[in-house]
Chains A and B, each alone.
Chain A
């Protein structure tokens, strides 16, 4: 059985720091470098922010975060799921600088950052049902 954790948080921006710290702590089992910890924290923050800001639009909701370690591969897979409004056009949402909230000073770089900072990223979404962002980080063995 793969080592994992499952965490549920209310969709509030103040919980983002808690979510990324939890994922970072869990990853310590894989002896990550400081840079790798930063990458995992950043990617987690982007996925959780997406749920808070876009899926629930600042309203109430639950975010589920699952972390899973593959000891053989020395990798961590993180899944961030919400049950919010869903993304209309996922392909478009993945484009750098694309945002549906231009007036709101969003950079539109969230998914680009996850993609750049991790080794694999998948985004699946169903309108009205929710979005799941999954990313995998392989830690270099020293």
Chain B
């Protein structure tokens, strides 16, 4: 799992690459948390175009980042979600905390 970042108008887009499971989430968590704590932003957008797979560990990862950002009064959004990922997100109701944008 890898992440790349782009900064624009107080919004940070995080391009995630890889599977967001126990292994992948563990690899990327600290790095993303460092970015969250060192870069003030209005919103973080996780671009999931290159995430082929998410399971409940990925959900926990997403909710963990959501809580960290909420504590800083920032939003977390997701975009470019593939059908498998979308089904996991819908089943868990995560979109009511972390909205999906186009």
By a beta-carbon cutoff of 8 Å, the part of chain A in contact with chain B is 13-14, 16-17, 20, 34-35, 38-39, 41-42, 45-46, 49, 52-53, 104-110, 112-113, 116-117
Contact = CB atoms under 8 A, between A and B. Distances in A.
SS class of chain B's interface: helix, strand, loop or mixed? Answer: helix
B64 A38 contact: no
Interface in B29-73: 53, 55-57, 59-61, 63-64
A45 B87 CA distance: 15
A42 B92 CA distance: 13
A45 B21 contact: yes
Given A105-B61, A107-B60, A41 B23 contact: no
SS class of chain A's interface: helix, strand, loop or mixed? Answer: helix
Interface centre among A20, A52, A106 (most CB of B within 10 A): A106
A13 B61 contact: no
Interface centre among B23, B55, B60, B63 (most CB of A within 10 A): B55
Given A42-B84, A42-B88, A113 B19 contact: no
